Amino acid sequence: TFIKTAAWARDHVNEGQFAYALSVAVIQRDDTTGVVLPPLYEVYPHLYFHGSDIAEFQSAKMQGHTHYVAMTNWTGASDVLHPEDLLGYFTQDVGLNAYHAYAHLYQPFWLNSEKYGLNTYVNRGEAFYYFYQQILAHYNLHRLANYLPEMNDFDWNMPIEYGYNPDLKYHNGQAFPARPDNAELSSLKSYTVEDVKTIEKRIKDAIDSGYVIGKDGNVISIKNYIHGINIIGNIVEGNEDSVNSRYYGSYTTMLHNLLALIMDPATEHGVAPGVVGHYETALRDPAFYILQKYINNLFAQYKNNLPAYKHDDLYFNGVTVEDVAVSKLVTFFDLFDIDVSNAVDVASIDELDKINYVAKAKRLNHQPFTYKIKVSSNQKTNAVVRVFLGPSTEFTYSNFYGEQASDVYYGHNTADLDRLRNYFVELDRFPVELKNGDNLIQRNSREFTTTVGDDVSFKSLLKSAESGNTVLSSVDRQCGFPDRLVLPMGHKAGVPYALFVMVTPYG
């Protein structure tokens, strides 16, 4: 049985392999629906907290402390040493990084949907694109909130501009390597830089030609958007649903590994892979966002080759959004207690039960807020409401709005609207039944379908399991963007943003 197999593997298989295999199995199996996994940042605290923080808890263990509480800092020091450190509250947030890891447990690149009969993977390629498009949009809104300029684009002929020191350690104590500014990508033992460029050219050629080459050399059209973007997405990710993995390779993984192994590309000096090589840690590195933007530009190229929408394609006949109102948006920093007892070695489960090591993490949060939408309809009909938050074209300091100097206010007339639309994040999406006449729709931020709350702690789950309750239906979904981070950091004087609402036919 599954339980007996898992129990055997727990004692006989590498602990990292066991935890990964068990997590994927629990998520994918029908008979484990509702079983809640422990928070990844409690299972692997060394991947979510600075090595200096982990060392403090290990020192407390050696000194015989059974209870220990310590403050952690996302900068790893008391001072912000580099402008990119200003975004540490976002890029190093344990919930955000766990979300990134969870997403790849729900859709592992190596899993073939046809072989395992997974109908939920029907839009897998598009989901890959949209997942990272939204991550990039959130990231850029936080850059905007901190008055940081838009990052430079990735260029094969230029070095990686941004250096990074993660101050993380693997479970065996080996450090994640730091990267200096202007490091250059080099060929690896298993493939060269030119190999990645060749695969990239094949993908770009396929996008421009309107068709891809299948495994048998057959031509597959990608001119239909729904069908095409899924094919392109699967090819770009390089997952097992790719129509021709031998020809198009594993583009995203190969490109990420060039950066992850940049400090020892030939693996001649025993340097461990960098943070971009792991889903749990990749979002910490500013260079990750440069690469991911470059990858997502392939989808922009594909979209630009499609016919433009016509008015009738987007028009919802008889339905009009009359007004939108939102309550005051307030962000703040709070403290969150995280059990990091797994950061230290113990001799037995009994010893683990006796220790209680807690890391206090300062994190961005927001007050609950509501929005109201007034929609008029000339008939009773089913619809879908989608709500987005993005940059306002009023005023702000940022080169996101154009090429002008960053010390000048930009207004509506100088804003680059085509670029700004890529920085809108989807807050909410839900079906609604519209009646004939005026409809007032009101939603609270705690109802958003795109976000999740905090995970239940490992010890709470353990107590629940010991009492025989392994299915916790009241627990929020695990794989979702953290509700706390749905709003960019605000300022005392206020920061202008735009709320965009669209209502489309259901189905």
Mean pLDDT, range 416-420, rounded to an integer: 75
pLDDT digits (tens, 9 = 90+) for 175-193: 999 999 999 999 999 999 9
Q: Are 47 and 281 in contact (CB under 8 A)?
A: yes
- With cut-offs at 50, 70 and 90, classify the pLDDT of residue 409: very low
Beta carbons within 10 angstroms of residue 479's beta carbon: 16
Fold: same for 105-305 and 311-329+369-448+486-505: no
The amino acid present at 38, given as its one-letter code, is P
More confident residue, 366 or 456: 366
Residue 49: the pLDDT is 94
Residue 204: the pLDDT is 98
Q: Are 340 and 45 in contact (CB under 8 A)?
A: yes
Asked if pLDDT for residue 411 goes beyond 60, the answer is no
Q: How far apart are CA 353 and CA 304, in angstroms?
A: 57
Domain boundaries, the chain: 105-305, 311-329+369-448+486-505
Three-class HEC string of 98-166: HHHHHHHHHCCCCCCHHHHCCHHHCCHHHHHHHHHHHHHHHHHHHHHHCCCCCCCCCCCCCCECCCECC
Q: How far apart are CA 387 and CA 322, in angstroms?
A: 14
- With cut-offs at 50, 70 and 90, classify the pLDDT of residue 226: confident
Question: What residues does 321 pair with on adjacent strands?
Answer: 375
Q: How far apart are CA 444 and CA 485, in angstroms?
A: 15
Asked if pLDDT for residue 394 goes beyond 80, the answer is no
Q: How far apart are CA 430 and CA 439, in angstroms?
A: 15
- With cut-offs at 50, 70 and 90, classify the pLDDT of residue 413: very low
How many helices (H) and strands (E) would you count in the chain? 17, 13
Residue 122: the pLDDT is 78
Residue 120: the pLDDT is 66
Distance of CA 475 to the CA centre of its chain: 21
Distance of CA 473 to the CA centre of its chain: 24
Mean pLDDT, range 95-113, rounded to an integer: 93
Q: Are 110 and 239 in contact (CB under 8 A)?
A: yes
Asked if pLDDT for residue 283 goes beyond 80, the answer is yes
Lowest mean per-residue pLDDT among 70-84, 251-265, 439-453: 70-84
Name the pTM for this structure.
0.93
Q: How far apart are CA 106 and CA 113, in angstroms?
A: 12
Single out the residue of 356, 237, 210, 383 nearest to residue 296, CA to CA. Answer: 237
Mean pLDDT, range 273-299, rounded to an integer: 97
Single out the residue of 238, 504, 242, 217 nearest to residue 375, CA to CA. Answer: 504
Asked if pLDDT for residue 491 goes beyond 50, the answer is yes
Work out the end-to-end distance of the chain between its first and last CA atoms, rounded to an integer number of angstroms.
40
Extended strands (E) in 330-480:
331-339, 356-366, 370-377, 381-391, 425-434, 437-444, 451-452
Residue 118: the pLDDT is 77
Residue located via tokens 């990272």: 132
Q: How far apart are CA 273 and CA 189, in angstroms?
A: 14
Residue 78: the pLDDT is 54
Q: How far apart are CA 310 and CA 507, in angstroms?
A: 19
Residue 470: the pLDDT is 64
Mean pLDDT, range 367-391, rounded to an integer: 96
Asked if pLDDT for residue 105 goes beyond 80, the answer is yes
Instruction: Return the CATH superfamily for domain 311-329+369-448+486-505.
Output: Hemocyanin, C-terminal domain (2.60.40.1520)
Residue 82: the pLDDT is 81
pLDDT digits (tens, 9 = 90+) for 125-142: 999 999 999 999 999 999
Beta carbons within 10 angstroms of residue 136's beta carbon: 18
CATH of 105-305, picked from 3.30.960.10, 3.40.50.1980, 1.10.1280.10, 3.30.470.20, is: 1.10.1280.10
Single out the residue of 443, 454, 449 nearest to residue 482, CA to CA. Answer: 454
Average pLDDT, rounded, for the chain: 89
Asked if pLDDT for residue 249 goes beyond 90, the answer is yes
Q: How far apart are CA 32 and CA 19, in angstroms?
A: 15
Three-class HEC string of 367-398: CCCEEEEEEEECCCEEEEEEEEEEECCCCECC
Residue 473: the pLDDT is 57
Residue 407: the pLDDT is 41
- With cut-offs at 50, 70 and 90, classify the pLDDT of residue 305: very high
